[in-house]
């Protein structure tokens, strides 16, 4: 009789796992959606290539700070977790620095007015959401 119970007992852990599997699927927090953020940066009406941008959230959230680097024509696409994936919905303060001619090892001087390099002094803002007001053009002035 003991030999008859042994095979059933051997499968007991598998049955327990099968019973609990539906309860665990979908567990864990679901990440909020990201929305595309595209635009252009101009300084003195000319494109700003290879400028570095940081989007500082003006709302409570997970604390992600999207970033972007402008292309040769001044265009950009914000990235939060992977290239071009966008940003969480909400309002952001935008900071921009531009070091033309700098290489990866050494940064040259910032060629943009200093106020654009700090969130406390930048007047650049963008609203991100499902109905974007994109692309946004940031016209930087002296």
- Can you tell me the distance from the alpha carbon of 136 to that of 142, in angstroms, rounded to the nearest whole number? 19
Pair 95, 53: CB distance under 8 Å? yes
State residue 114 phi and psi, 5-degree precision: -55, -30
Q: What's the mean pLDDT when you consider all of the chain?
A: 84
Q: Is pLDDT above 70 for 21? A: no
Cβ count near 58 (within 10 Å):
13
Sheet containing 52-57: order of strands: 67-69, 52-57, 90-97, 125-128
**Does residue 86 lie in a domain region?**
yes
Q: Using one digit for the tens of pLDDT, what is the confidence trace for 52-107? A: 999 999 998 888 999 999 999 999 999 999 999 999 999 999 999 999 876 666 77
Residue 78 falls inside a structural domain: yes
CA 33 from centre of chain: 11
Residue 29 lies in a domain: no
When pLDDT is cut at 50, 70 and 90, the band that residue 28 belongs to is low
Q: Does residue 72 form part of some domain? A: yes
- Domains contained in the chain, number: 1
Query: Any idea which of 28-37, 52-61, 103-112 has the lowest mean pLDDT?
Result: 103-112
Q: Is residue 41 part of a domain?
A: yes
User: Domain range for residue 86?
Assistant: 34-140
| Whether pLDDT at 44 is above 90 | yes
Sign of the Cα torsion 82, 83, 87, 91 reads positive
Query: Do the domain assignments include residue 84?
Result: yes
12 pLDDT tier (thresholds 50, 70, 90)? very low
Q: How confident is the model at residue 108 (pLDDT cuts 50, 70, 90)?
A: confident
Q: Kindly report the CATH number assigned to the domain that includes residue 46.
A: 2.60.40.1120
- Predicted TM-score (pTM) of this structure: 0.76
Question: In this structure, is residue 28 part of a structural domain?
Answer: no
User: Which backbone phi and psi does 98 adopt, to 5 degrees?
Assistant: -140, 115
9 lies in a domain? no
Percent of the chain with pLDDT over 90: 63
Assess contact for 37 and 134: CB atoms under 8 A.
Answer: yes
Alpha-carbon gap, residue 130 to 79, rounded angstroms: 16
């Amino acid at each position: 009789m003991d030999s008859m119970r042994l095979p059933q007992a051997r499968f007991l852990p598998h049955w327990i796992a099968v019973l609990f599997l539906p309860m665990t699927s979908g567990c864990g927090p679901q990440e909020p959606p990201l929305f595309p953020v595209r635009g252009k940066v101009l300084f003195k009406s000319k494109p700003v290539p290879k400028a570095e941008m940081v989007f500082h959230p003006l709302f409570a959230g997970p604390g992600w700070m999207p970033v972007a680097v402008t292309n040769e024509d001044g265009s950009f696409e914000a990235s939060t977790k992977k290239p071009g994936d966008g940003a969480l919905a909400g309002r952001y303060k935008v900071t921009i620095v531009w070091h033309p001619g700098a290489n990866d090892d050494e940064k040259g001087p910032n060629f943009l007015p200093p106020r654009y390099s700090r969130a406390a002094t930048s007047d650049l803002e963008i609203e991100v959401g499902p109905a974007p007001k994109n692309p946004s053009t940031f016209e930087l002035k002296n």
